[in-house]
Structure 1
Amino acid sequence: METLQKISRMPLGLTLPAFAILLAVFGIPIVLLFLTSLNAPAFSLVNYQAFLRQPANVRVLFQTIEVSAVATAICVIIGYPTAYLITTASTRVRTALLVLVVIPYLTSLLVRTYAWIVILGDRGLINNLLINLGLISSPLPLIYNRMAVYIGMVHIMLPVMILPLVSVMLGIDKSLVAAARSMGARPLAAFWRVFFPLSLPGVRSGSVLVFVLCLGFYITPTALGGLRDALLSTFIAAQVSSSFNMARTAAAAFILLGIAAVMLSLIGLDLSGTQGRAAQPVQKLWWSWLPSFGTLFLYLNELTAPYRAKRWTTKLYQAGTDRRWPMTIGTLFVVLVMFYLLFPSLVVIVMSFSNGTFLEFPPSALSLRWYRSFFGDPSWTGAAWTSVQIGLAVAILSTIVGTLAAYGLSRTFPRLRSFLTMLILTPITFPSIVVGIAAYLGLLNLGLIGTKSGIILTHSVGAVGYVVVIVSATLANFDQRLEQAATSMRAGPVQTFTRVTLPLIRPGVIGGALFAFIHSFDEVVKTSLVSGLSIRTLPLKMWEDIRHEIDPTIAAVASLLVLLPVLWLIAIYVTWWRSRPRALRALPDSGA
């Protein structure tokens, strides 16, 4: 008990388990990996020079940047109007649309990639439909090209762009736009001069997040792209599987990491800036920077001031314009985006009930054949049980460690808290292939390669970050005076935490645990590096079958995995609403 009381007086002590896992599995290995890339202790750039001297490597490097930038731009073009229309909807419609965005975000990346293989393949949905309609005589090359890569990557990253935008847009004071309208600004002018500058922090944060994640994409480009569409992560994975030259592989990994770091430093530095500062650079029109036309424009602006004042008085008492067409177009746009996000998963679910040897949409006959194939095949059920075991272990470990870390960080100074939180979130922001290689090196030193314990530690490195984020958000709304009241009534640290704090933050803890489980259950890249050949999880089994043969059993597995995010949301909803009366009942008892 005395030890617990001492730890409670030093909040940073609660973060020690999280940092111990982080340092052992990722922190120290990533430093050793960097030193290996420099040929320490000789310290030379020969590995980087060898990489850049090969034209094929440089082409893959620039191709990675190009694909990531284009995918990010498409996500901005589609995601911004979608987020804007979601924020302008009523509360119930907005909630429903956000749920529809979150469901594909939480759905397995492997399942969504497999869905596009089923849709775009030579015997896929689109080609079969066009052939049956007599529009084409042979399948179109819709897959294994750059366009298929963009379709798959944008589909996976679009929720990552929409959610930060919605979060920022909901915080914008709508009365500012109304004030601009009341002063004679047209709707479009009020949007560009007021609303859009205030939403730029969401655009920047979403763009940086999408771009960095796209840099580390491995599954989707490999499954949907051709040989000419390989990205740097694919190149690194090929090096690991063929000739594991640690120095060359480390150099390629840190080049990929360097691109992400440069992007974060260039665009991500002002992510914490206020909305007012974000609006200042945009308030000045672009042509006012031209010295020869700036004065002329200001003069013409003064000449037209009386006309604009008269026009404003005239427009003030006019009836509102017909907004049916803009509303119809906006509704149609949102419906198309939701269709794009949800339709691939629905196609896989429907195809999983097919009775044919090959997948077809719609199925000629309904059957549970492929579900029986899944549950009757020991290789599938064994892999699924292994994933469940690892996922539960990761959820338990990450929830305990992450909750303690979040609780300790919430009691530290703001600057120190921000720095330590950034360190814990580092494995999430780094490309997955880089984290996997570092974890491989760390587990190799610990002798845990090819063991369940090694996979659990590897998954927990990222899962702890998710738990810390979710629990910290819950603790941000927690009133610490409740703990002080319990302490003043002679409650110990453990009793205060279990009787007062934990009941109030329970929704965040359970949400973090479920998110950690899904993160582990969906992991492919890092698992493939540290599992060796002895352990096969369900995602690894699916990935091997997708690469070698399209077994219709995968459709049944994918349809079952689609249910996970739905169950996740239901569990969060039930926990959140039921925890409120429990927490309220716990408060009077806390002083006993």
Structure 2
Amino acid sequence: MAQTMAAGRRPVLGTAAMLAPILVLFLAAYVLPLGGLVADSFQREGDFTFANHTALLESRAFRIILWRTLTLSFVVTLICLLIAYPLAYVLARLPSRWAAGLLLLVSVPYVTSILIRSYAWVVLLANNGVVNKLLLASGLVDEPLKLAFNETGTYIGMVHVQLPLMVFPLYAAMHRIDRSLLAAARNLGSTAASAFWHIFLPLSLPGVASGCTLVFLSCLGFYVTPALLGGPGQYMLAQGITVRVLTLADFAGAAAQATVLLLVVVLLFVALRRRFAAGLGIESTGRSGRTTAARGLRAWPAPLEAAIEVLSGPLRALGSMLSIVGGPVVAVLAVLALLFLIVPLLMVIPLAFSDSPYLTFPPPGYSLRWFKTFLANARWLDAAGFSLGAAGIGAVVSLIVGIPAAFAVVRRPMMGRLPLYLLLISPLIVPHVIVALAMYFSMARVQLIGTPLAFVIAYALIGAPYVFVLFVAGLLRFDRSLEMAAANLGATPVTVLRTVTLPLLLPTLAAALLFAFIIGFDDVVFGLFLAGTNATPLPIRMWDDIRLEISPQIAVVAVLLFAALALAYAAYLALGLLGDRRSRMPGGGPIA
């Protein structure tokens, strides 16, 4: 009896041990600080009060900022959808090899520092920038257009930053659509436009919903691009929170604003929880508990179908015309979307080799003066070294806590798998400005502000969800027959893990480490709250340079980061090839 009970407890204890590291990290650096932030929003002079929230809701300025934030998030989401849908459609129709190469181009801006992307748009959109120079030279305008440091610049920069988040889920949904359905519709007399309207579009709606959700929630707490490209009187909510803390020292007001933003995000996150749960392989269920089937091949609402029937003649003629010109038009839109993503980053590279003492494009001449300036500047080198160390250690910690958690969630029997999964991915959704403010309050109490440890904890926290999500996806795709074959040949579980599972997951491991490192190395928001004299990361140096000077120095950092990304991608490809060779080895791979 005792042996049976001990055997029953063993899996539970094993699962708990696998989840303990990430839960301790989340409890200490995420859950408790957020709870403390909410509690602080109801405090004034040591007493519990609703006065902070009452004053906030009565403030016309706050209502304007909140409305501006919601409006910008909605409009940016809509623009991203309109740009990304044709691009994803074309990518889904291409052969896998071509699609993979173009998706890599889409991902380059996503893994590039957000400061560099914003800097690129300053170069392009400023009064003496590339766009205005071209417009003036063409005679289309008589004076420079105000494209930067206002609402226009904010929208352009935000769309550029968020567009990859829309493309990836759209492509994933479109790539799974069975093309034979469209062919069958054409064989039954449907035009290409009608087949798209009744078949392809409905089947792509899950990707539309996922992309819109990710972009909208990401925009709600966005800070860097609006702060650099927006006007001085056009604050977003994240900027308002930062100003209240770092400029006005209004901690209670900042806590109240952050609590309101957190409430909005949490409500949306809970309402859309099944959309996020798709990454765990959990199907959406209705109230009856039955799985909701994928929709498509169905009629649209009756009034709309009736209107289509009345207008069937003109609509069929329009559909025939769109069937002829639609393909080329969509291809052109896809190419323009790719250029929109890539060209701003390419414009930065020549600036790193400029011999001009100030920012100008095109450079009047070329030299290595700015590389020499960078390598001779101790402040920049110290900041770069600090970021490399803190982000590297944070990424390793993310791996240590994230990998066991992914194995536990995917492979261990447990209750509450979905709530746990949502908790562990929530730092991807909750705006960093809220988490950074919460950590600022909690770390100030234990005197960790301005220390390397504060950054390692912060980077580990924001990197762990990337590791967790990537390994969950990798494990769900993993062919377990290889592990079972090794076990049948007498390998112990540890041997199977060491010689089969982890070697075949090396590409996933490399991608997780890269993303965890980049998300920490690129961070600005945590740096604004946690930096000190002996702990100043490179993004803060870049932030100060862009805001105060806008010199070609940032372009040097961009070129160095591009080179590092190229080397990292080459290593990732090498690991992928190594994994493929091992999986094809006779006798089941690495065991042999």
Q: TM-score over 0.5 for the alignment?
A: yes
Q: Does 1:31 align with 2:35?
A: yes
- Between the aligned partners of 2:201 and 2:21, the Cα distance in structure 1 is 43
1:114 paired with 2:122, answer no
Q: What secondary structure does 2:203 align onto?
A: helix
Note the alpha carbon deviations across 1:338-389, whole angstroms, 9 max, x for none: 1110111111101221111222322221111111111111111111111111
2: CA distance, partners of 1:238 / 1:187 = 53
Please report how far the alpha carbon of residue 545 of structure 1 lies from its aligned counterpart in structure 2 after TM superposition. Answer: 1.0
Distance 1:287 1:356, change over 3 A: same
| Partner Cα separation in structure 2 for residue 591 and residue 240 of structure 1 | 57
Is contact 2:582-2:589 (8 Å) kept? no
Structure 1: gaps spanning 5 or more residues: none
The answer to whether the aligner puts 1:279 opposite 2:295 as a matched pair is yes
Shift of 1:137: 5.5
Q: 1:204 aligns with which of 203, 209, 226?
A: 209
- SS of 2:359's equivalent in the other structure is coil
Counterpart of 2:421 in structure 1 is 421
Amino acid paired to 2:213: V
Q: Using the alignment, how far apart are the partners of 1:112 and 1:46 within structure 2?
A: 40
Structure 1 residues 319-358: aligned runs within 5 Å? 325-358=325-358
SS at match of 1:279: coil
Report the counterpart of residue 223 of structure 1 in structure 2. Answer: 228
Change in CA separation of 1:354 and 1:216 when aligned onto 2, cut-off 3 Å: same
> Does the 8 A contact of 1:108 with 1:562 survive in 2?
no
Q: Which amino acid aligns with 1:21?
A: L
1:211-232 CA deviation, whole Å, 9 max, x = no partner? Answer: 1111111110111010232100
Report the Cα distance in structure 1 between the residues aligned to 2:191 and 2:272, rounded to whole angstroms: 31
1:279 partner amino acid: R
Preserved CA contact (<8 Å) 2:350 2:363: yes
Shift, 1:496, TM fit: 3.0
Residue 418 (structure 1) shift: 2.7
Corresponding residue for 2:15? 11
Q: Which amino acid aligns with 2:387?
A: S
Deviation sequence 1:64-97 (CA, Å, 0-9, x none): 0011111111001111111111111233332221
Are the structure 2 counterparts of residues 569 and 323 from structure 1 closer, same or farther at C-alpha, using a change threshold of 3 Å? Answer: farther
- Give the counterpart letter for 1:33 in structure 2: L
Alpha carbons of 1:321 and 1:243: their partners in 2 closer, same or farther (altered >3 Å)? closer
Deviation at 1:161, TM superposition (A): 0.2
Residues 235 and 589 of structure 1, relative CA distance in 2, 3 Å threshold? closer
Counterpart residue number, 2:465: 465
Per-residue CA deviations over 1:374-406 (Å, capped at 9, x if unaligned) read 111111111111111112111211112211211
Aligned-residue offset at 1:576: 0.8
SS at match of 1:101: helix
CA distance in 2, matches of 1:586, 1:408: 30
Aligned residues between the structures? 571
Q: TM-score, normalised by structure 2?
A: 0.88
**Distance in 2 separating the partners of 1:234 and 1:504:** 44
In 2, distance between residues paired with 1:286 and 1:263?
A: 30
* 1:7-51 deviation digits (Å, cap 9, x = unpaired): 797223211101111110111111121122233996543221111
Aligned to 1:143: 148
| Amino acid in the other structure paired with 1:284 | W
- The worse-fitting range, judged by mean Cα deviation, of 387-396 and 491-500 is 491-500
CA–CA distance in structure 1, aligned partners of residues 161 and 226 of structure 2: 12
Q: 1:587 to 1:407 in 2, by over 3 A?
A: farther
Aligned to 2:92: 87
Moved more, 212-221 or 503-512: 503-512
Distance 1:251 1:487, change over 3 A: same
Tell whether the 8 Å contact from 1:118 to 1:125 is kept in structure 2 after alignment.
Answer: yes
Report matched runs for 1:125-144 at 5 Å.
125-132=130-137, 138-144=143-149
Name the residue aligned to 1:386.
386
Instruction: Check conservation: 2:115, 2:543, Cα contact below 8 A.
Output: yes
User: Aligned equivalents of 1:414 and 1:88: distance in 2?
Assistant: 40
Q: Which amino acid aligns with 2:244?
A: Q
SS of the equivalent of 1:410 reads helix
**C-alpha distance in 2, partners of 1:203/1:322?**
22
Deviations 1:187-246 (A, max 9, x none): 111111111111111111100110111111111011101023210000000011024343
- State the alpha-carbon separation in 2 of the partners of residues 371 and 93 from structure 1: 35
How many percent of aligned residue pairs carry the same amino acid?
A: 35
Look up the SS of the partner of 1:227 in the other structure: coil
Q: 1-side partners of 2:505 and 2:368: how far apart? A: 42
Question: 1:133 offset after TM fit, Å?
Answer: 5.1
Contact 2:583 2:589 in 1 (8 A): no
Q: Relative to 1, partners in 2 of residues 1:427 and 1:489: Cα closer, same or farther, differing over 3 Å?
A: same
1:168 aligns with 2:180: no
SS state of the match for residue 189, structure 2? coil
Change (3 A) 1:360 1:242: closer
State the AA in 1 paired with 2:475.
L
Give the 3-state SS of the residue equivalent to 2:372 in structure 1: helix
CA distance in 2, matches of 1:379, 1:477: 45
Deviations 1:111-141 (A, max 9, x none): 0001001111122112333445566564332
How far off its partner does 1:532 sit?
Answer: 3.1
Indicate how the Cα distance of structure 1 residues 297 and 551 shifts in structure 2: closer, same or farther if over 3 A, else same: closer
| CA distance in 1: counterparts of 2:391 and 2:416, whole angstroms | 31
Answer whether contact 2:402 2:465 (CA < 8 A) is retained: yes
More displaced 10-residue stretch of structure 1: 263-272 or 139-148: 263-272
Residue matched to 2:3:
none
Task: Tell me if the contact between 1:130 and 1:136 (Cα under 8 Å) persists in the aligned partners.
Answer: yes
Is 2:267 the partner of 1:262? yes
**1:414 to 1:170, Cα distance in 2 relative to 1, 3 A:** farther
Partner of 2:476: 476
Mapped to 1, the partners of 2:296 and 2:495 lie a distance apart of: 50
Question: How far has the Cα of 1:170 moved from its partner?
Answer: 0.6
Report if the CA contact (8 A) 2:244-2:251 is conserved: no
Matched, 1:551 2:551: yes
Counterpart residue type for residue 249 of structure 1: A
TM-superposed CA distance for 1:329, in Å, is 2.4
Deviation of the 1:435 alpha carbon:
1.2
Are 1:191 and 2:191 counterparts? no
Residue 519 (structure 1) aligns with: 519
CA distance in 1, matches of 2:585, 2:153: 54
Q: How does 1:283-294 map to 2 (within 5 A)?
A: 283-285=299-301, 287=303
Instruction: Name the CA distance, whole Å, in 1 between partners of 2:474 and 2:296.
Output: 33
Q: CA RMSD in A?
A: 3.2
What is the one-letter code of the residue matched to 2:539? Answer: P
Go from structure 1 to structure 2 and tell me whether the alpha carbon gap of 1:530 and 1:36 turns closer, same or farther (over 3 Å shift): same
- Tell me, what secondary structure is at the counterpart of 1:229? coil
1:152 CA drift (Å): 0.1
Match of 1:22 in 2: 26
How far off is 1:482 after superposition? 4.2
Q: CA deviation at 1:155?
A: 0.4
In the TM superposition, what is the alpha-carbon distance from 1:502 to its structure 2 partner?
A: 1.4
Question: CA 1:227/1:190 → structure 2, altered by over 3 Å: closer, same or farther?
Answer: same
Does the 8 Å contact 2:149/2:228 carry over to 1? yes
When structure 1 is superposed on structure 2, of 215-224 and 27-36 the one drifting more is 27-36
How far the C-alpha of 1:419 sits from its partner, in A, is 2.2
Deviation at 1:456, TM superposition (A): 0.8
CA shift, 1:422, in A, is 1.3
Closer/same/farther in 2, CA of residues 581 and 496 from structure 1, 3 Å limit: same
Secondary structure, aligned partner of 2:416? helix
Tell me, yes or no, if the aligned pair for 2:52 and 2:252 is still in contact at 8 Å. yes
Q: Is residue 124–residue 344 contact of structure 2 (8 Å, CA) maintained in 1?
A: yes
Check 1:48–1:9 CA distance in 2 against 1; reply closer, same or farther (3 A cut): closer
1:444 is displaced (CA, Å) by 3.0
Name the CA distance, whole Å, in 1 between partners of 2:40 and 2:303: 51
1:213 alignment counterpart = 218
